[in-house]
């Protein structure tokens, strides 16, 4: 059996490398997705903000027709004009958030706007209706019906607080993937507790520094925003698996931030991004905050329902994942190793973890150590315990072989590793092997019965 042991020892000593093209592809695909996302979301949405089908009202049917013609010539597709009865109706439309501006023609024309919708939109509306007023442009009176707090002159502070409640919700969903001891109920409780804490702290900071009005409804909206993102992310992760970081960052950062209504209010976004604004949690959280803090709750129901819908879908996905696991057939002995928790490159580096011992697929973590455990008759040894020790002797990870006697491990540090294979009734075997950057080390073992001689994997070290 000495030749057998030498053969296995030679196989274990030679590290393999993944094909360089595949390795490069798997290293680059995630930053490439983000690069393209930033390129095709931020620039097209924000490069030249201008009104796109912004809804405005004009007092008087004939005046509305005339103003519509002027605005359409000056900026085609920029405004949708509706006639209202009089000046109070025009003002009320802005306060109710059914229009972004209300124009009252006459010897002294009046324009009702709301800085709470964003100073950039207010400026664009003032410019457009100054032109519409014609030779009376010098007499146009602009009335702000929803002024912001003194430290929010641009009407964008709510967006920054929204981002502070939105992005950590996604990060929370990612970090909860590592909470292996938490079941779904505990994860939900953690989401609710952290969301409550973040909303309370954010509200205290915003009010204390004078950035937000003192209104407890902020707590409710902030809680719903963080909860919706965290719950949806937690429910999505088991289905997106290795693609979850890319999907999560695309949804909650790449698509959400440029369409949030900060740099460009919703009425100034191109049609596609305006649609995205209507469904994203961050944008709806910001709109709910604006409604609650500056418009006496007008128009708040829709955004709140959208946030609740994201939370409900997240809970539904978690329930579906639980049902899927209950319905799944019991795996064969030795094949109970699940894929390791998803690593988010923006949060943490990979850690040692067992992998399913199957052919590597695109996007999965690359194995650092693979091998088989067999008996002297070349039969696989299932459920053999394989333990990997680091250079200092500290245990890094352990796993069980599958029904074919195979095992795989990822996330190992560079340097000399000790690999121990053991199963009840057989002599354990130990192998020391160096692991370099990008290497895939193979360590195969042959475990003899306890009354036998030295195991074929190499000499046993006590």
9 CB burial (10 A radius; 0-12, 13-18, 19+): middle
pTM of the shown model: 0.76
Q: Which helix or strand (DSSP H or E) is residue 218 part of?
A: helix 217-240
pLDDT band at 412 (very low <50, low <70, confident <90, very high): confident
Could you identify the residue written with the tokens 């680059």? 28
- Decide: 373 and 380 in contact? Cβ < 8 Å: yes
pLDDT of the residue at 461 = 42
pLDDT average, residue stretch 54-81: 94
Q: Cα(364)–Cα(246) distance, rounded to whole angstroms? A: 13
pLDDT band at 435 (very low <50, low <70, confident <90, very high): confident
Summarize pLDDT for 102-112 with one digit per residue, the tens: 999 988 899 99
Tokens encoding 363: 């996007």
| Other residues' Cβ atoms within 10 Å of the Cβ of residue 126 | 15
Summarize pLDDT for 301-353 with one digit per residue, the tens: 999 999 999 999 999 999 998 888 777 645 554 445 555 566 666 555 567 77
Length of the chain: 462
Q: Cα(288)–Cα(2) distance, rounded to whole angstroms? A: 75
More confident residue, 426 or 344: 426
């Amino acid at each position: 059996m000495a030749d057998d042991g030498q053969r296995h020892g030679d196989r274990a000593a030679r590290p393999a490398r993944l094909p360089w093209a595949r390795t490069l592809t798997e290293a680059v695909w995630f930053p490439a997705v983000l690069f393209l996302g930033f390129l095709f979301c931020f620039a097209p949405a924000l490069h030249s903000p201008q009104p796109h089908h912004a809804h405005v009202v004009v007092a008087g049917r004939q005046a509305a027709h005339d103003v519509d013609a002027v605005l359409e010539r000056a900026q085609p597709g920029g405004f949708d004009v509706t006639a209202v009865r009089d000046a109070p109706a025009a003002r009320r439309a802005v306060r109710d958030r059914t229009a972004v501006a209300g124009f009252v023609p006459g010897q002294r024309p009046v324009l009702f706007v709301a800085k709470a919708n964003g100073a950039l939109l207010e400026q664009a509306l003032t410019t457009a209706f100054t032109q519409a007023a014609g030779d009376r442009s010098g007499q146009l009176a602009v009335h702000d019906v929803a002024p912001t707090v003194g430290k929010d002159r641009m009407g964008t502070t709510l967006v920054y607080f929204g981002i502070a409640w939105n992005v950590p919700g996604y990060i929370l969903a990612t970090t909860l993937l590592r909470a292996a001891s938490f079941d779904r109920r505990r994860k939900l409780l953690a989401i609710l507790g952290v969301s409550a804490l973040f909303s309370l702290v954010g509200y205290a900071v915003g009010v204390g520094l004078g950035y937000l009005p003192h209104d407890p409804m902020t707590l409710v909206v902030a809680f719903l925003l963080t909860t919706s993102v965290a719950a949806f992310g937690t429910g999505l992760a088991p289905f997106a698996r290795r693609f979850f970081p890319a999907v999560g960052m695309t949804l909650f950062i790449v698509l959400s931030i440029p369409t949030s209504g900060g740099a460009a209010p919703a009425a100034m976004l191109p049609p596609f991004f305006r649609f995205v604004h209507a469904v994203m949690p961050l944008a709806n959280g910001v709109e709910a905050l604006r409604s609650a803090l500056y418009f006496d709750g007008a128009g708040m129901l829709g955004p709140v329902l959208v946030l609740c819908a994201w939370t409900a879908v997240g809970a539904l996905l978690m329930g579906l994942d639980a049902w899927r696991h209950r319905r799944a057939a019991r795996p064969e002995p030795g094949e109970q190793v699940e894929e390791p928790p998803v690593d988010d490159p923006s949060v943490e580096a990979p850690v040692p973890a067992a992998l399913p011992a199957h052919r590597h697929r695109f996007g999965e973590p690359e194995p650092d150590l693979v091998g088989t455990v067999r008996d002297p008759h070349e039969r696989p040894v299932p459920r053999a315990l394989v333990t990997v020790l680091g250079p200092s002797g500290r245990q890094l990870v352990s796993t069980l072989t599958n029904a074919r006697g195979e095992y795989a491990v990822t996330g190992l540090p560079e340097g000399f590793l000790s690999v121990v294979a053991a199963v009840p009734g057989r002599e354990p075997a130990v192998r020391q092997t160096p692991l370099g950057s990008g290497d895939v080390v193979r360590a195969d073992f042959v475990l003899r019965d306890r009354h036998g001689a030295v195991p074929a994997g190499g000499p046993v070290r006590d």
